[in-house]
């Protein structure tokens, strides 16, 4: 629960770090706002996330987003970090401006469905984005269509992943510099979005790399990226609109046949690999990408 010390003191026309001019508000969430800003030095537009200072520092999530973005700057699937800091009333993060979120794109389409080709291409790129995040030792913990967007201009065909405020570092370097997985906590607070989170999250279990992609518990349960891809393709999920408890029950009991109805065959093949993964296991990201690519080739669509 957000407990701000007070509203951010920010106005249109304000100058941030003597370089960015606040132009207009783009959106507002439960714990912050997003503004369009103009880089005075090169006249390029950018996005600025603003979070009010909180009564408890533990409630401030923008610092985690900045930390993860710094680690991820070599990935072509995350925004460029342009500036970050704090004022007397808010924390801020300025990053490159993205295009439409995948959730917005889907809702604007006929029948609110994407084509199989589009979903497979998104699958390839989102797998790469998630793998890039895992390689620096983090899990996202809130994979969903509104946290992925297309780029702009020359990057219009590139999928970007963003919003790392709920991310958690689960791997740390040992004395030789190799990443080692930290021990899973026995019980954790709910983190994520009910529609897309895994059954593990409903049961307050530690989220691992497989929870960003897929999870297995008692039955084959898809989650994270695959819940996202299924919804982009079919426009819905069996538990859409349900309360958290009811959603957890359907996720636990729904059959693969119902969940994957209308999905390409590669989704079933990928499930057969991923259903055995646990917190300790490393997903075979290359297998996922190969399956997506082969399905595209069958459809004679260029990846």
Q: What is the pLDDT of residue 214?
A: 57
Sign of CA dihedral 260, 212, 2, 147: negative
The neighbouring-strand residues paired with 83 are 94
Q: Return the pLDDT at 19.
A: 97
Residue 215, pLDDT score: 42
pTM: 0.89
For 192, the token pair is 């994520």
> Which residues participate in catalysis according to the annotation?
142
Domains and CATH numbers, the chain: 15-96 (3.30.200.20), 102-298 (1.10.510.10)
Report pLDDT for 276. 75
Q: What is the pLDDT of residues 74-115, one digit of tens each?
A: 999 999 999 999 999 999 999 999 999 999 999 999 899 999
User: 116-135 vs 225-234: helix axis angle to the nearest 10?
Assistant: 170
What is the residue whose two structure tokens read 């983190």? 191
Taking only the tens place, the pLDDT of each residue in 278-287 is 888 888 999 9
pLDDT of residue 208: 73
Q: Residue 41's pLDDT is what?
A: 95
Residue 217 has a pLDDT of: 33
Q: What is the pLDDT of residue 216?
A: 35
Q: How many residues does the chain have?
A: 303
Please state the φ and ψ torsions of residue 101, each to the nearest 5 degrees.
Answer: -70, 150
Q: Is 149 exposed, middle or buried (0-12, 13-18, 19+ CB in 10 A)?
A: buried
Task: Please report the pLDDT score of residue 226 as a whole number.
Answer: 84
The enclosing H or E element of 138 equals: strand 138-139
Output the tens digit of pLDDT for each of the chain's 303 residues. 567 788 899 999 999 999 999 999 999 876 789 999 999 999 999 999 999 998 777 778 899 999 999 999 999 999 999 999 999 999 999 999 999 999 999 999 989 999 999 999 999 999 999 999 999 999 998 899 999 999 999 999 999 999 998 899 999 988 888 888 888 777 666 565 656 665 666 555 666 787 777 543 322 333 589 889 999 999 988 888 888 888 878 877 888 899 899 999 999 988 778 777 888 888 899 999 999 999 999 999 998
């Amino acid at each position: 629960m957000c407990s701000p010390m007070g509203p951010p003191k920010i106005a249109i026309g304000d100058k941030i770090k003597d370089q960015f001019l606040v132009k207009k508000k783009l959106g507002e969430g439960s714990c912050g706002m997003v503004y369009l800003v103009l880089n005075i030095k090169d006249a390029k537009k950018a996005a600025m996330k603003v979070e009010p200072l909180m009564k408890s520092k533990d409630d401030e999530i923008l610092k985690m987003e900045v930390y993860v973005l710094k680690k991820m700057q070599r990935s072509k699937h995350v925004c460029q970090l342009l500036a970050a800091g704090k004022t007397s009333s808010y924390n801020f993060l300025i990053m490159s401006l993205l295009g439409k979120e995948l959730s917005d794109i889907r809702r604007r389409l006929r029948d609110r469905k994407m084509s199989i080709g589009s979903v497979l291409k998104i699958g390839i790129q989102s797998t790469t984005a998630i793998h890039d995040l895992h390689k620096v030792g983090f899990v996202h913990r809130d994979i969903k269509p509104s946290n992925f967007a297309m780029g702009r201009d020359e990057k219009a065909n590139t999928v970007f992943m963003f919003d790392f405020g709920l991310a958690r570092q689960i791997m740390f370097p040992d004395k030789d510099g190799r990443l080692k997985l930290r021990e899973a906590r026995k019980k954790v607070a709910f983190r994520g979005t009910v529609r897309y989170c895994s059954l593990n999250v409903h049961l307050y279990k530690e989220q691992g790399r497989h929870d960003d992609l897929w999870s297995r518990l008692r039955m084959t349960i898809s989650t994270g990226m695959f819940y996202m891809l299924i919804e982009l393709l079919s426009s819905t999920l069996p538990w859409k609109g349900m309360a958290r408890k009811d959603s957890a029950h359907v996720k636990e009991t729904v059959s693969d046949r119902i969940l994957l109805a209308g999905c390409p065959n590669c989704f079933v093949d990928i499930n057969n690999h991923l259903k055995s993964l646990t917190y300790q296991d490393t997903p075979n990201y290359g297998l996922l990408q190969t399956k997506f690519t082969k399905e595209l080739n069958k459809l004679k669509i260029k990846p």
